[in-house]
Amino acid sequence: MIYVVIVFLWTSILLYILLGGADFGAGIMELFTSKKNREKTRSTMYEAIGPIWEANHMWLIIAIVILFVGFPKIYTTVSVYLHIPLVCMLMGIIARGTAFVFRNYDAVEDDMQKVYTPIFIYSSLITPFFLGIIAGSAVSGQIDVKATDFLSAYVFSWLNWFSVAVGLFTVSICGYLATIFIIGQTDNDADRKYFIRKANKTIFAVMFSGALVFLAAYADGIPLVHWIFGGTPGLLAIIAASISLGIMFLMLRREKPIILRLLAGFQVAMILFAATYSHFPDIVLLKNGVNLSLLTHQGQAKTIASLGYALLIGSLFILPALVYLIYVFQRKKPEGATH
């Protein structure tokens, strides 16, 4: 049953990156859009993120609950030594959600709209940045559980070149996912071509920030190249992602939105697999070569079994409901409809 729990944990993280990433990317796109195109981008993104806005943080909650219940030592270590970026990420989630609701559903339009917009935009940037920092820090080997001073224990555990580079890479991924999601939401040919050009730019931003991750890993002495290219599964995953990127450029020219979304999801899945497979089951790499493992540091057998059954049963309700939610939101409105 432990492997069932691990699969749900990995899948929850992947879905949060994909769906939450596209959600955060809406604000990132707005930030890097000219004023004359901002309103068009904003209105189109609302249609694109509608279904995932309703449910994206569910995947983060599931991942947190799995760690809290099934892997308490791992949960405690991360929440203690990475509490600063965790708080920053959570504050970003709260600020962004609040600003989004008031900006779009406030009964009175006044000068406060000018406050909600920058909060929404910049929290959309900050939140995935710190999410990436947390992910990078977990495998950076910089968390020192034996540290005796505040900076060594709670600041330098995440404030390093590698973690910051992973944060920037995560931001780029979110922007990329958002541009792919938005392509299928417009019926206007000129708008579609505009968003395709934006997608091409974000692809190169992902490639550039990805190169920064490798440079930062080398500078911090992290064997990222060996993790990804040192084994056949990781190498095959990167090759598959690279091939799908070539197909992506072809589909962008042919304007195939459904295929584009599937390709983007596949690419992110391959990147996550390549980054995690080589040091599995270790999920947190501590300083001085000590690691926290999903197999060694799991909870009691009865707890894991109960958690596994709960996840299996829960998925029977959650997944069909999510599919129906996406279906409802993606249906075209009839002509003349206002709601």
Q: What is the pLDDT of residues 24-73, one digit of tens each?
A: 888 888 888 777 777 777 767 766 666 566 667 888 899 999 999 999 99
What does the pLDDT read at residue 330?
Answer: 61
Q: Check whether the bond before 281 is cis (ω within 30° of 0).
A: yes
Model's pTM, two decimal places? Answer: 0.88
The Cα 261–Cα 180 span in angstroms is 6
The arithmetic mean of pLDDT across residues 169-174, rounded, is: 94
CA torsion angle 122 166 18 49 (round to 10) = 10
Instruction: Give CA angle at 93 (178, 222), nearest 5°.
Output: 75
Alpha helices in 71-160 (DSSP H): 72-81, 83-105, 113-138, 150-154
Phi (first) and psi of residue 143, to 5 degrees: -75, 115
Structure tokens, 47: 């249609």
- What is the three-class DSSP state of 63? helix
Mean pLDDT of 83-93: 94
Q: Average per-residue pLDDT in the chain?
A: 85
The 10 Å CB-count burial string (b at 16+, else e) for 40-69 is bbbebbebbbebbbebbbbbbebbebbbeb
Each domain of the chain, given as residue ranges in start order, spans 2-330
Q: Judge contact between 198 and 179, C-beta under 8 A.
A: yes
32 close to 175: Cβ distance less than 8 angstroms: yes
Q: Would you say 258 and 184 are in contact if contact means Cβ atoms under 8 Å apart?
A: yes
